[in-house]
Structure 1
Amino acid sequence: MPKNNFTRTALTGACLLAALTLGATPAIQAATPVNTAANKASAKGQAFNQLSHQFIEALWLLDPDAALYAGRYEQAAKLPLPDAATRARQLAFAEDWLQRFANVDEAKLTVNQRTDLAQLRNKLESDRFYLGSFREFEWNPAAYGVASALDLMLSTDYAPLPTRLRALSERIAAIPAYYRAAQASIKNPTLEHTQLAIRQAPGNVSVLDDVAKAGQSAKALKPAEKALLAERIAAAKGTIQGQIDFLKGLEKELLANPASARSFRIGAALYEPKFKLDIQSGRSAEQTYEKALAAREQLLAQMDQLADQLWAKTLGDAPKPADRTAKIGHVIAKLSERHVARADFFKEIRRQIPVLQDWVVKHDLLTMDAKKPLVVRETPVYARGVAGAGIEAPGPYRPQDRTYYSVTPMDDISDAEAESNLREYNHWMLQILNIHEAIPGHYTQLVYANKSPSLVKALFGNGAMVEGWAVFSERLMLESGYGGNEPEMWLMWCKWNLRSVTNTILDYSVHVKGISEAEALDMLIRQAFQTEQEAREKWRRVQLSSVQLTSYFSGYSEIMELREARKAQLGDKFKVKAFNEQFLSYGSAPVHVIRELMMQR
């Protein structure tokens, strides 16, 4: 999965934003124009373009961290403080801009502008919801961390290293105040998010060590600057250790008195509005859950037929169970014995990337840009503990920067746990993982998103579209003949697709229906054929996130519906590559928005 609103994922909730004098004229000059599509807009349409531009520039002043992830570094030295005053300014900002956008006359806008306006309103309504109702800043200690932005500044050549180090030094100087504000904000934490914060905290120290090493080796820094940087890093590391002690104190209290801990389950009252804002689907959360139940049955029927087809090949003369679930499970378990060695896991991932790119080009599925760098790396410590793999892509202001395909290593798990992981990501599943995360999945989609003529749609991306495309891309590859149309590959694709469907069922069942850990694990292991290690990691993930797991199936199902509608509309004129490239040309807009834009052409 990709990371954050600006292509870096948002599992920790709304950004905690910095101060801004509301209504002031932004001082930052935009590096990329807004709404550059060749529209002959009316005077009011042109006024909306300017208003959108003003909003985005004001947002970067309000939120320097979000600006970094979008590729804007003018305020890189500023570390936003997660305090009550900042949140009050953020809420006032959202209310102010919602009113400004409410005054826009939609009748005078083009369809592209109207859909941009809807995205801007949704972003602001979402910020208001997270601050006013969801209030994750009170109960999720893992929402507070400084490593990601520091790592991004250090590893991105947006300016000469000495300039970046000076900005890093200023940002690091504010870390003690940052964690004081964080501790004051935490009111009623969940045990699970507290433990995640403890696990991720050492990653903040390791990034500071990287900055220290770069600072000492930088010849252009004056001795006094190096000394000041070293002093600030030492103070920051002491603060982070104090934060770890604070978190461990919270954990001790919560373990001693579990009844005092807030539940990780967000409940029905928060789930439905969060789903509406995050997913932006034409369906409600409950309707999506019901649709997923029906999709699960369709997949199981298909898997039943494939298991019959593969039984003799995989299990010989062994008696075939009458129970459908047991039969499918036996075949998958046998096939899963074929997997890469633990020591070769990363090597195999790196080997497959150019193979996938060659397939996409040779089968005319998409136009690929070979110049866009993709780096496979181990997930940084500060980002571990939620998902096993993810894409970190550059923002639209700096599309030339590296995209990281981060995979959590198996260094700190037992041989049995590693074997369980490797069976889950067996010979076939590992290929599907790389299709999903890299080519033509997240990596490819985010390259296209950065080329969108609408900066609004590129910046304020919809997670269901992003994840939905990655799931759709798996099917796209198999439909083109990837995997030789072997029943083994199709069975494993069904298992993988069942995972996306089950994500929706699991997330809704846990957060709304309140199912137990035992029920969740049975759903994942017995009913969805996942290995125990994979299932336990998913159980951890559903405790640490909400709604995001529904984005895979929600987005995928809507893309499939759009493709069928487009086929019916175009008939013999429908072309796979044309559909794919047109779909991706709209940035990361919600699927229903893309449908409106595509179907009216």
Structure 2
Amino acid sequence: MAAALLVPSLLAFALAACQPGPSQTPEGAPMATDAAATAVADAAFQELAGQWLEKSMELSPVAATQIGDHRYDDRIDDLSQGGRTRALEFQRRILTQLDTIDTSALSRENQVDAAILRNQLRYDIWSGETLQSWAWDPQIYSQLAGSALYGLMARDFAPMPQRLKSATARMQQIPTLFTQMRQNLDPARVPRIHADKVAAQNAGILSLVDGLILPHAGRLKGEDRKQLDAAVATLRKAVEEHQTWLDQTLVPNAKGDFRIGETLYDEKLAFALNSPLSRQEIRTRVEADIERTRAEMYGIARGVLRGRDGAPVAMPDAPTPEQQQQVIEAALELAYADRPARDEVVEVATRSTEQATAFVREKDLVTLPDTPVKIILMPEFQRGVTVAYCDSPGPLDKELDTFYAVSPIPDDWTQAQVDSFLREYNTRSIHELSIHEAMPGHFLQLAHSNKYPSTLRAVLGSGPFIEGWAMYAEKVMADAGYMDEDPLMQLINRKWNLRAMANALLDQAIHVDGMTREEAMELMTVTTFQQEREAAGKWERAQLTSAQLSTYYVGYSEHLDLRREVEEREGEAFDLKAYHDKLLSFGSPPVRFARQLLLDEPIR
């Protein structure tokens, strides 16, 4: 049976998955509605959510593939003016209909989903009409082209010949996407950093063709094979022509400002975080946490260095800023000395993931997923923004692999660049990275999330919840004793916390306050102890993105706040594993809603 027939209609799936539950209110509070009214409201919302899911997949075929709805695997998104207009009209219509539903009458779980959907609709409309990334960010098009092919070939969700035919159809459409990109972009609005990045990565789509598609081309015969070969030839020519336009037209004329400014940034941050924390509150928290974490690092570093040859002479209880900096840096040098060879990064990631998994199982910290994570080399078209990421299967793709993708060291890096990178991603740092990305971080959390019955919530997973959990997982491991016998690992753990804090500061300081490269590099290389290569890459990433870098720290702060509140309420009855399992059972909603569900408070 064809795989597409095995995937139920997304509308039917959504309606079946969101059956109305009993109305619940905090103890002692009056019932907001009776069961009959709740049933009516839930049914209306389920129908509307199903409409949104159904049409959204049709409008965004590449995202649909990633989610696991494979009805549109032979299409790519239409980013022409007409395609964008149709999407905006649909989003406005759904938002208008959502506003007619009495959300206070919904069951609690549907109240959360309704709030998440409303935020997403408003975000999408704002992005299309106000931010207008389609007119100035070429990354939208290049990443869509790469994802269109990678999403088909990375996982065995269907027989290879079927996926190859879908890839053929998408390769035939990518030249049209290039044309839309050239028509939509206004070079005067395109930041030079964005143009340079896309120009450098453009040929990367051919590496997907050569590495993931052509090795399997022999699985197609006759006319199907001829069409694939023709599509590849056409795509090669289109990529070459597009490269000429990028090099000769876009890059020389890219005059836009990569800083989106205070108004756009604050509006985007509110949508992206869906958190009660404002930009100013985030900054205040970050600055206090940086000071506290550096003090912790100084205490650990003194213990590491005491009695060692070459240790700083002055390590007083109350150090000056210069003494604190010197002592921490001296201890970190001991960690930097233990680093893998340039071709052993993935091997170290694999081994550290296995060790972390064994520890989580031994300490019974949280229920483990049934299947292991698979560690792979990061696809070329994804490189240049982050060193690693967790790529879980979509919520409709069951029993498929989760990838922990690690970026290899580029072949054209100088030895000095390699040394800087491996000082930052030393053996202990890669271990910390594996905790964050794999176990018990992203891999574990997303495996739990994909079991939550609401497809809507799975599709609209909260970045702060997901990224915040991964940071929180690092602390859980530290608190459980994973690093007790290795103070250098404790030091690296705190350094990684500092990195997330710096991320949140950079994000707003660059886009709102006009932070310069020199100021950013000082924050990263001095205040938060990052190596030059890592800091330079983060400076580039902060120019290429906005609001995303804040998700780590904000989500982490919210997870810590929630854990402390639950511990205080439950006292000696608090059970860590039960808490984790309950929290993760909600899927990946914004932490504010997870808190309200967990504490049985009104949804707002």
TM-score, normalization: structure 2? 0.90
The equivalent of 1:11 in structure 2 is: none
Instruction: Quote how far apart the aligned CAs of 1:29 are.
Output: 5.4
Q: Which moved more, 1:472-481 or 1:417-426?
A: 417-426
The equivalent of 2:86 in structure 1 is: 89
1:280-319 maps to which residues of 2 (within 5 A)? 280-319=274-313
The equivalent of 1:470 in structure 2 is: 470
SS in 2 for 1:488: helix
The equivalent of 1:267 in structure 2 is: 261
Instruction: Quote how far apart the aligned CAs of 1:31 are.
Output: 4.5
Q: Deviations over 1:51-99 (max 9, x none)?
A: 2122211211222112111111111111222111111111111111100
User: Following the alignment from structure 2 to structure 1, what is the Cα–Cα distance between the partners of residues 436 and 223?
Assistant: 48
Distance 1:338 1:160, change over 3 A: closer
User: Following the alignment from structure 2 to structure 1, what is the Cα–Cα distance between the partners of residues 47 and 309?
Assistant: 66
Distance 1:63 1:335, change over 3 A: closer
Task: Tell me if the contact between 1:173 and 1:236 (Cα under 8 Å) persists in the aligned partners.
Answer: yes
What amino acid is aligned across from residue 224 of structure 1 in structure 2? E
Q: Deviations over 1:521-572 (max 9, x none)?
A: 0110011111111111111111111111111110000110000100111112
Distance 1:189 1:213, change over 3 A: same
Instruction: Quote how far apart the aligned CAs of 1:206 are.
Output: 1.7
Task: Tell me if the contact between 1:340 and 1:426 (Cα under 8 Å) persists in the aligned partners.
Answer: yes
Aligned residues: 568
SS in 1 for 2:493: helix
Q: Deviations over 1:212-247 (max 9, x none)?
A: 5256311xx341221122112211111111111111
Correspondence 1:34 to 2:17: yes
Gaps of 5+ in 1: 1-25, 255-259
Correspondence 1:202 to 2:203: yes
Instruction: Quote how far apart the aligned CAs of 1:38 are.
Output: 5.0
Task: Tell me if the contact between 1:194 and 1:250 (Cα under 8 Å) persists in the aligned partners.
Answer: no
User: Following the alignment from structure 1 to structure 2, what is the Cα–Cα distance between the partners of residues 279 and 265?
Assistant: 19
Q: Which moved more, 1:70-79 or 1:228-237?
A: 228-237
Instruction: Quote how far apart the aligned CAs of 1:157 are.
Output: 2.5
Instruction: Quote how far apart the aligned CAs of 1:391 are.
Output: 1.1
Distance 1:452 1:314, change over 3 A: farther
Correspondence 1:64 to 2:61: yes
What amino acid is aligned across from residue 530 of structure 1 in structure 2? Q
Q: Which moved more, 1:467-476 or 1:176-185?
A: 176-185
User: Following the alignment from structure 1 to structure 2, what is the Cα–Cα distance between the partners of residues 28 and 446?
Assistant: 20
Instruction: Quote how far apart the aligned CAs of 1:210 are.
Output: 4.2
User: Following the alignment from structure 2 to structure 1, what is the Cα–Cα distance between the partners of residues 88 and 564?
Assistant: 41
The equivalent of 2:537 in structure 1 is: 537
The equivalent of 1:357 in structure 2 is: 357
Q: Deviations over 1:102-129 (max 9, x none)?
A: 0111121111111100000111111111
TM-score, normalization: structure 1? 0.91
Correspondence 1:482 to 2:479: no
1:97-496 maps to which residues of 2 (within 5 A)? 97-145=94-142, 146-187=145-186, 188-210=189-211, 213-214=214-215, 216-218=217-219, 221-250=220-249, 252-254=251-253, 261-320=255-314, 322=320, 323=322, 324-371=324-371, 373-412=372-411, 413-496=413-496
Distance 1:78 1:307, change over 3 A: same
Task: Tell me if the contact between 1:106 and 1:114 (Cα under 8 Å) persists in the aligned partners.
Answer: yes
Q: Deviations over 1:17-58 (max 9, x none)?
A: xxxxxxxxx976544633257547522222222221222112
Distance 1:94 1:315, change over 3 A: farther
Instruction: Quote how far apart the aligned CAs of 1:310 are.
Output: 2.1
What amino acid is aligned across from residue 481 of structure 2 in structure 1? G
Task: Tell me if the contact between 1:340 and 1:348 (Cα under 8 Å) persists in the aligned partners.
Answer: yes
User: Following the alignment from structure 2 to structure 1, what is the Cα–Cα distance between the partners of residues 554 and 278?
Assistant: 10
Task: Tell me if the contact between 2:21 and 2:107 (Cα under 8 Å) persists in the aligned partners.
Answer: no
Distance 1:122 1:248, change over 3 A: same
1:48 to 45, 48, 52: 45
SS in 1 for 2:70: coil
What amino acid is aligned across from residue 274 of structure 1 in structure 2? K
Distance 1:314 1:539, change over 3 A: farther
Instruction: Quote how far apart the aligned CAs of 1:251 are.
Output: 5.1
Distance 1:482 1:150, change over 3 A: same
SS in 2 for 1:391: strand
Q: Which moved more, 1:495-504 or 1:406-415?
A: 406-415
Task: Tell me if the contact between 1:449 and 1:588 (Cα under 8 Å) persists in the aligned partners.
Answer: yes
Correspondence 1:550 to 2:550: yes
Distance 1:30 1:397, change over 3 A: farther
Instruction: Quote how far apart the aligned CAs of 1:578 are.
Output: 0.9
Per chain length, whose mean CA-contact separation is higher, i.e. which structure has more relative contact order (CA < 8 Å, sep 6+)?
Answer: 1
Distance 1:100 1:314, change over 3 A: farther
The equivalent of 1:20 in structure 2 is: none
Task: Tell me if the contact between 1:28 and 1:74 (Cα under 8 Å) persists in the aligned partners.
Answer: no
Gaps of 5+ in 2: 1-7, 24-37
Instruction: Quote how far apart the aligned CAs of 1:331 are.
Output: 1.9
Distance 1:108 1:317, change over 3 A: closer
Q: Deviations over 1:289-339 (max 9, x none)?
A: 121111111112212222222222555454237522232222212332122
